[in-house]
Amino acid sequence: MSRTAAILLAAGSGRRMQGAVADKVLAPLAGRPVFAHTAAAFMASGVADFYAVVYRDQRQMLELAATAPTPSVLVRGGRERQDSVMNALAALPDDIAFVFIHDCARPLIRPEELKELHRIVRRQRAVVLAHRVTDTIKEKTTRLRTLDRSRLWAMETPQVFARDLIIRGYARAEARGLRVTDDAAAVELLGTPIVLLENFHPNPKLTTPADLAYVEFLLRSRAAT
């Protein structure tokens, strides 16, 4: 029987937090560290048989280990996000067939969404959580051009793939010297169709200091329902 792993990315530098917190994935929100919210959602969903937790430095590793799901391996992050993902992929057991890749700075992921992503990836081999763009988006080159927002989606995580697909996608990106901003971009290089699972719930990423209060509000509001 094929098994599934979850790569939990926690090694980001958090430069855009401007020192508001020492480490955004360890910042306490709604009573526990951001990372613990993510770990709890994955464990409640039961989608993963194995975890690879990607850390930035020794101090962070020790704190992440305290709330890491089990069974797990702790993996040192790389210079760029895609380097961290490739390090984690290389650390997975041989019998892993499907891989969730999730930014731990998105602590609002829900167990029911994880279950649905898992169901889809076993049939379609590539699926990404996403939401429709509601703002008017313009492209600026020598002049402005309005894009058709009915065709635009904002990517979130988790992004979930058959293991062989994501490994081949990143190998191709590496061979071409490309730096991709999300995992789906690597799989796109293979010409493989990717399913978009629409997310109807807020799943923001902690990026700037203003996000801390907003995400804490969302976490507390959800706990109260």
Please write the tens of the pLDDT for every residue from 32-46: 999 999 999 999 999
**pLDDT tens per residue across span 101-141:** 999 999 999 999 999 999 999 999 999 999 999 999 999 99
Burial label, 109 (beta-carbon count in 10 A; 0-12, 13-18, 19+): buried
Examine the pLDDT at 225 and tell me if it is beyond 90.
Answer: no
pLDDT of residue 151: 96
pLDDT of residue 31: 94
Q: What's the rounded Cα separation, in Å, for the pair 207 and 169?
A: 26
* Percent of the chain topping pLDDT 90: 93
Q: 134 is in which domain, residue-wise?
A: 3-224
- Report which residue type is found at 4: T
Q: What is the CATH number of the domain that holds 43?
A: 3.90.550.10
Q: What's the rounded Cα separation, in Å, for the pair 178 and 200?
A: 32
Which helix (H) or strand (E) element contains residue 151? none
Nearest of 13, 1, 94, 87 to residue 52 by alpha carbon: 87
Examine the pLDDT at 61 and tell me if it is beyond 80.
Answer: yes
What rounded mean pLDDT belongs to the chain? 96
Joined tokens for residue 191: 């010409």
* Counted domains in the chain: 1
Examine the pLDDT at 185 and tell me if it is beyond 80.
Answer: yes
Q: Which residues lie below 8 Å from residue 223, measured CB to CB, with a gap of 6+?
A: 30
Examine the pLDDT at 217 and tell me if it is beyond 80.
Answer: yes
Examine the pLDDT at 2 and tell me if it is beyond 90.
Answer: no
- Helix and strand numbers (H, E) in the chain are 7, 11
Joined tokens for residue 144: 């402005």
Examine the pLDDT at 13 and tell me if it is beyond 80.
Answer: no
pLDDT of residue 22: 85
Transcribe 152-214 into DSSP letters.
-EEEEEEEEEEHHHHHHHHHHHHHTT---SSHHHHHHTTT---EEEE--S------SHHHHHH
pLDDT of residue 14: 76
Residue 15: band (very low, low, confident or very high) from pLDDT cuts 50, 70, 90: confident
